[in-house]
Amino acid sequence: MNIYEKLVEVRKSVPYLQKESSGKQYSYVGSSQVLASVRSKMDELGLLLIPRITGKNVLESPIEMKDNNGNVTKRTTTYFTELEMTMTWVNAEKPDETIECPWYGQGVDIAGEKGVGKALTYAEKYFILKQFNIATDKDDPDAFQEKAESYRKPELVSSTNVGLLKTAAMEFAKLRGKTDADVYTSLQIDNIESLTDKDAKLIITKINGWIASAEKELKKKQGA
């Protein structure tokens, strides 16, 4: 199995992660949760992920805390650490088979010594989420699955509904003294085969309604 096939297998194993950790204002997927979701599969397949720092930048921002009278009560410094990185996938079975991905991480810390660690954790977490297209919706897994189904391309019209639509169109055209083409034109249908199955069913229902109305009118005229 080559390195690309192995990455695909990892992606198949984790389609979704539920947000289990909570902050002050929102829920989120924790870094340990993300790593745990892929690690066993990576071990099974013999995949290694090697992070490498290629550039760095640290910005210092002094912060003053004041009381209600505007007096400074505390001074501190916030450190914003930025890391330019390269994340390298290695196929342990064939170590010369690698994939290098440029990446970026950032971390904010007050004391200063944890900025790099936070940036590395941030980078690794989001690299894995984006590499494997892992969804992290706030919904539960069942709701996510239903939502995912709705994103799929609509199913094209079935042969059964093509037949039902054509039959209905012919019947209505006959009642009105028109052609099938006239019916399709009034419905703005250029090609029945290009309809979705859902739209075809709606159109069939509409035509059947027209047929019922036309038959009712005809019976009324014959009775008169």
Return the DSSP state at 158: P
What structural domains does the chain harbor?
A: 3-151 (3.30.390), 159-223 (no CATH)
The per-residue pLDDT for 140 is: 47
**Angstrom distance (rounded) from CA 79 to CA 86:** 23
- Per-residue pLDDT reduced to its tens digit, 69-93: 878 888 888 888 999 999 999 999 9
- Per-residue pLDDT reduced to its tens digit, 153-182: 578 889 899 999 999 999 999 988 889 888
Q: Which residue has better confidence, 16 or 144?
A: 16
Q: How confident is residue 9, by pLDDT bands cut at 50, 70 and 90?
A: very high
CB-based burial, 96-133: b 16+ in 10 Å, e otherwise: eeeeeeebebebebeeeeebbebbbbbbbbbbbbebbe
The per-residue pLDDT for 146 is: 54
Average pLDDT of span 29-33:
78
Average pLDDT of span 43-67:
90
